[in-house]
Amino acid sequence: MFNKEYRKSKRVRPHVNIEIVNVLTGVKIGDVLNISREGLLASSQSQVGAGLLFQTQWNFSARGLKSIAVGLECLWSEPQGTSVFLTGFHIIDISFDDQNILDRIIAQSKEIKD
C-alpha cells in the first residue's frame, strides 16, 4: 500500500500554546496546531501567500519558556470557513539554542497518528 506520509519527523500537538508573530510588522500570523522539526500547521485569521518568507517570534503560554526566533516559508494556505485559514509552513532558519527549546517542546508533546 502506498504511504502518502512524506514527513521526516513525527508531528505533535504542542502541550503549550504557541503564538506566531511577524517580527517585521508585529502582527500575529497565527497559532500552531501541530509541529515537527521541519514544519508546522498553523491556524490564522487571514490567508498567507504561498512562497512568502517570514521572520517570526514564537511566544509560549508556559511560564519559564522564553520566546524563540524562527524563519518560516509558507507552503500553502486554505480557507476553513469565513475567518479561519489553515496554513502549512516550512522551518527555514532557527538557531541552535532555539532548536533545543523546540525539541524539548516536541519531546513533551503528544504525537499525532494519521
- For the stretch 66-96, pLDDT in tens is 899 999 999 999 998 878 999 999 999 999 9
Q: What is the value of pTM for the model shown? A: 0.87
Query: Are 18 and 70 spatial neighbours (Cβ–Cβ below 8 Å)?
Result: no
Extract the C-alpha cell encoding 23. 517580527
Under CATH, which number does the domain 12-111 receive?
A: 2.40.10.220
Tell me the per-residue pLDDT of 1-47, one tens digit each, with 9 for 90 and over.
334 455 567 889 998 999 999 999 999 999 999 999 999 999 999 99
Which of 80-99 are b and which e, b meaning 16 or more Cβ less than 10 Å from the residue's Cβ?
eeeeebbbbbebeebeeebe
Grid coordinates in use for 83?
Answer: 475567518
To which H or E segment does residue 15 belong?
A: none
Residue 33's CB is within 10 A of a number of other CB atoms, namely: 16
